[in-house]
Structure 1
Amino acid sequence: MLSTRPPTVWIDDSHAIVRRGMAACLQQADFVVRGESSALAPAPVAAGLDVLVFEYVGPTLRRAVRMVEGRTTRLVATVRDVNEQAVRELVDAGVGAVLPHGTLTPESLIATLRAVVAGSVALPGDLLARLLLHVTQTSSLGPAGLNPRERSVLRLLADGMDTRGIAEDLCFSERTVKNVVHDVLTKLNCRTRAQAVAVATREGVI
């Protein structure tokens, strides 16, 4: 049975006004803000935390990954300088969503976190294009390729659907969808759903 509790969030940013603005937006959208920090200090309490929103600056990515290791907490990065290196590092680390500061709005913040909590990924179109260039050199389809069920799930992932939506559309259980996604990531040698979509798009699978 799916949990109906409000999703929990920790907000990290070097500017207090940004943290408090994000917290106010999310609280109005029924998120529970568990705390806030700057450069991940004080350290977020990851136990039972659904989403850690952190500012991508220097070593914060490595710290964030270590903090949620072995947990179901999803990572969402806010980025001030969106460049190719940042995109590569964030995607390779398994970050579920990237929010450029320059285009961040209350609506995009709320929509992105809801998508991440539901099991989806969120990359702006220009970032997805950069990711596609990156994975061209780092990933390839395995010799076995993808079966029709895996391709169907990938197409829906590319459309931005979350686990529940894919399950309803294909008449699968959510567990089945998660298993299929796991198989796809393994075959494509990818760490994240966004990376898998980019690889499959490049290969003409979807």
Structure 2
Amino acid sequence: MPVPTDRIAVTIHAADPLSRAGVVSHLRHQPILEVVPRLAERDGLAHAAAVAVAVAVVVIDRIDEQSVAELRGILRSGDRRVVLVARELRESELLSVVEYGVRAIVWRHQATEEQLVTAVCQAAQGECVLPPDLIGRVLGQVNRLRRSERAAACSGPATAPLFGLTPRETDVLRLVADGLDTRRVAEKLAYSERTVKNILHGMMTRLQLSNRAHAVAYALREGYI
């Protein structure tokens, strides 16, 4: 595998100090890598000489509110590529973690020194790395998204994003949040009831939302309404 010619600054993010120490022990002796302490990270990696790319290695058990906040905070703090070391990921979370900027996923039970170094180097080069058992699950997610887009095609020509809400979806959910049923939402927006149902179905399928209440909660949490 080709490796970058410049050194890579690596920051380690783990709630468990033992997990962090384990990752540091795997990476700190690699000549192509420079493990950057968290204090230096807050100073903008200024001490790291000849660093071309920064990669954040994030160690979690599973996706929850804390890990999502961590991923978003990392992305807001600078231009870094994320390697996620996870114990487990539900199928509905696979595309979501990509939205947060994850470029590589390594299972914790497979996180050997060689696997971690390879994932960091490939992420630094802009490549996406997945464990073999995840590839089929990702393809399944993509196929379902395509089917949902085809199912919602009669509701309009606009292509929905993989993540987030379209303006029309936001309009529908805002009225649903106000307690309106399908008929009244359709009247307010001058849509047919079938169109409203298609918008909701396509959005909930795409975003893996279980029902309308879940969809409203998602829109509130993400600041759409």
TM-score (normalised: structure 1): 0.57
Checking the alignment, whether the CA contact within 8 Å between 1:46 and 1:67 is kept in structure 2 is no
Gaps of 5+ in 2: 46-52, 148-158, 164-225
Max radius of gyration: which structure? 2
The Cα of 1:22 is off from its aligned counterpart by: 1.3
Aligned residues between the structures: 139
Q: How many percent of aligned residue pairs carry the same amino acid?
A: 21
Aligned position for 2:101: 94
Aligned position for 1:200: none
Checking the alignment, whether the CA contact within 8 Å between 2:104 and 2:129 is kept in structure 1 is yes
Aligned CA distance change for structure 1 residues 129 and 43 (closer, same or farther; 3 Å): farther
Q: Secondary structure at the match of 1:50?
A: strand
Aligned CA distance change for structure 1 residues 67 and 82 (closer, same or farther; 3 Å): closer
Checking the alignment, whether the CA contact within 8 Å between 2:87 and 2:108 is kept in structure 1 is yes
Aligned position for 1:16: 17
1:127 aligns with 2:134: yes
Aligned position for 1:47: 44
The Cα of 1:20 is off from its aligned counterpart by: 1.4
The Cα of 1:92 is off from its aligned counterpart by: 3.1
Give the 5 Å matches for 1:31-42: 31-35=33-37
TM-score (normalised: structure 2): 0.52
1:118 aligns with 2:125: yes
Moved more, 25-34 or 50-59: 50-59
Checking the alignment, whether the CA contact within 8 Å between 2:14 and 2:20 is kept in structure 1 is yes
Residue 55 of structure 1 aligns with an amino acid whose one-letter code is: V
1:65 aligns with 2:72: yes
Aligned position for 2:30: 29
Checking the alignment, whether the CA contact within 8 Å between 1:76 and 1:96 is kept in structure 2 is yes
State the distance in 2 between where 1:139 and 1:66 align.
Answer: 31
Residue 35 of structure 1 aligns with an amino acid whose one-letter code is: P
Q: Secondary structure at the match of 1:7?
A: strand
Aligned position for 1:137: 144
The Cα of 1:101 is off from its aligned counterpart by: 0.6
1:74 aligns with 2:76: no
The Cα of 1:44 is off from its aligned counterpart by: 5.3
Checking the alignment, whether the CA contact within 8 Å between 2:86 and 2:108 is kept in structure 1 is yes
The Cα of 1:133 is off from its aligned counterpart by: 0.8
Residue 68 of structure 2 aligns with an amino acid whose one-letter code is: L
Residue 50 of structure 1 aligns with an amino acid whose one-letter code is: A
State the distance in 2 between where 1:70 and 1:138 align.
Answer: 31
Please report the RMSD computed on the Cα atoms of aligned residues, expressed in angstroms. Answer: 3.2
Q: Alpha-carbon deviations, 1:55-87, whole Å to 9, x = none?
A: 244232233223323842101111112321332
Q: Alpha-carbon deviations, 1:169-196, whole Å to 9, x = none?
A: xxxxxxxxxxxxxxxxxx9x668xxxxx
Gaps of 5+ in 1: 37-41, 141-186, 192-206
Checking the alignment, whether the CA contact within 8 Å between 2:19 and 2:59 is kept in structure 1 is no
Match for 2:111 among 92, 104, 126?
104
